[in-house]
Amino acid sequence: MNMHPSAKKMKSLFQPEQSFYKLWSHWLSAHRMAFRLSIRNLLTHPLTTLLTLLSLAVTLSLPGASYLTYKNTALLLSGWDKGTTLTAFLQEDISLEQAHTLVHLIESREEVFEALYQTPEQSLQEFRERSGLKDVIDSLPRNPLPGVITLYPNPGYQKSSHLSQLQGFLQSLAEIQSVEIDLDWVQKMHAYLHFGKALTLVMGILVALTVILVIANIIRLTLERHKDETEVLTLIGATKYFIARPFLYRGLWYGLLGGVFSFGLLSIMIDYLQKPLDKLSFLYQQPFLIYNLNLGETLLLFFLSGGLGLMGAWLAVRSQLRHFNQYA
């Protein structure tokens, strides 16, 4: 019986779709098999696997610790940088009325949020309480400290250029002897931060190369131990991709679990350092916290470590299986 032309057309349309799903199912089955085999191979020698993961974790923790140092220092400075102040020391012969007039003049500028005046007597009293040299200070014939005006810039004028302009304006006033900005040490710390950021990047690149080479060497040795098995699989028709998949998954597991162990080591390190830091916080009456990797940074760590493991495994597999037939 002849088939209707429309039926033949429908059959031709559905044939590629059925073929695609068959190939997709075969591909998933092959990866599922390689996935299970890689886990089984890791669990076959648990002590060796654990030592390998710990060595990778320590290696990955080096740039992680450097990054956390940079991150926590930057967060600490961001809070201090917002509190930048200028200190103007007045001439000795300035009266209280002149000082208050000067404060109103300074506060009229848009760069200044607030200006507070401290009399010479208040400055001396504060120094007496903080220095512990009460007897020496009381024996002085006169008060050597000048009046002080402390300026708090507006949030929009915290940049060095704005503060330098404000400093120039204050120094041009006859009533002011000198002006100091407590931003110099912050700028130096920012320079150190830029160096730390570059150092973290260089260390990360070196560690990435180290992880790739270590995992590549581990997979290469594993391939050497299974050389007879791979040759038998080749003889019975297994493709090089079928042979390579378990080793690629194994490299992925090494990298990914190494990243997980590295995160654990960083967490232990932070918990250990936080305890003495709490004592320091108690002495200074100010809380100091060490921040760990956030969720996004943690996922990035796992993604990069897994990628490095997969890359190392691919280099080893590619060099070891190169002699196989290209179309095997």
Query: Per residue in 235-283, pLDDT tens?
Result: 776 667 777 888 889 999 999 999 999 999 999 999 888 888 877 777 6
Q: Give 156 or 252, the one with higher predicted confidence.
A: 252
Q: From CA 206, how far away is CA 212, in angstroms rounded?
A: 10
- Per the structure, the complete domain to which residue 117 belongs is given by 85-182
- What average pLDDT does this structure show over 289-318? 91
Can you give the CATH number for the domain in which 163 is found? 3.30.70.3040
Has residue 253 been placed in a domain? Answer: yes
134-143, 144-153, 294-303, 314-323: which is most confident = 294-303
Using 50, 70 and 90 to split pLDDT, how confident is the model at 299? Answer: very high
Hey, what amino acid is at 196? G
Give the rounded percent of residues in the chain with a pLDDT score beyond 90. 22
Q: From CA 71, how far away is CA 105, in angstroms rounded?
A: 40
- What average pLDDT does this structure show over 38-56? 87
Has residue 29 been placed in a domain? Answer: no
Q: Report the range of poorest mean pLDDT among 23-27, 65-69, 86-90.
A: 23-27
Using 50, 70 and 90 to split pLDDT, how confident is the model at 322? Answer: low
57 in the same domain as 97: no
Average pLDDT, the chain: 80
Using 50, 70 and 90 to split pLDDT, how confident is the model at 156? Answer: confident
Has residue 244 been placed in a domain? Answer: yes
User: Rounded to 5 degrees, what angle do the CA atoms 188, 194, 199 make?
Assistant: 125
Structurally, the chain folds into a number of domains equal to 2
Q: Return the pLDDT at 165.
A: 85
302 in the same domain as 269: yes
307 in the same domain as 208: yes
169 in the same domain as 68: no
135 in the same domain as 70: no
Q: How far is CA 328 from CA 237, 242, 324, in A?
A: 7, 10, 7
End position of a domain, from candidates 149, 182, 215: 182
29-43, 132-146, 175-189, 306-320: which is most confident = 306-320
Has residue 276 been placed in a domain? Answer: yes
Q: Return the pLDDT at 262.
A: 95
194 in the same domain as 178: no
Displacement of CA 167 from its chain's centroid (Å): 35
Instruction: Name the nearest CA neighbour of 315 among 205, 211, 203, 204.
Output: 211
End position of a domain, from candidates 134, 160, 182: 182
280 in the same domain as 202: yes
Checking if the pLDDT of 229 tops 90, the result is no
134 in the same domain as 221: no
Q: From CA 37, how far away is CA 263, in angstroms rounded?
A: 26
210 in the same domain as 142: no
